[in-house]
Amino acid sequence: MIGPPAQAGAHGATAPKKVGILLVAFGSSEASAQVSFDNIDRAVRQAYPQVPVRWAYTSHIIRAKLADQGKVLDSPAMALARLHDEKFTHVAVQSLHTIAGEEYHELRRIVGGFQAMALFEKIVMGHPLMATQADMEAVVDTILANLPQARRADEGVVFMGHGTHHPADAGYAALMYRLQLKDPQIFVGTVEGYPDVELILGQLKQRKINKVYLMPFMSVAGDHAKNDMAGSEDDSWVSIFTGAGIQCVPILKGTAEYDGFVKIWVAHAGEALKALH
Residue 277 designated active-site: no
- Cis status, amide bond into 195, omega within 30 of 0: yes
Cβ(158)–Cβ(228) below 8 Å = no
Count of residues making up the chain: 277
Strand partners, 92: 21, 124
Point out the catalytic residue in the list 90, 127, 162, 268.
Answer: 162
Residue type, 195: P
State whether residue 267 is helix, strand or coil: helix
Q: Which amino acid is at 109?
A: R
Which DSSP string do the residues of 160-221 spell out, in sequence order?
EE---SSGGGHHHHHHHHHHHHH-TTEEEEESSSSS-HHHHHHHHHHTT--EEEEEE-SSS-
Burial of 149 from C-beta contacts in 10 A (0-12 / 13-18 / 19+): exposed
Active-site residue set: 162
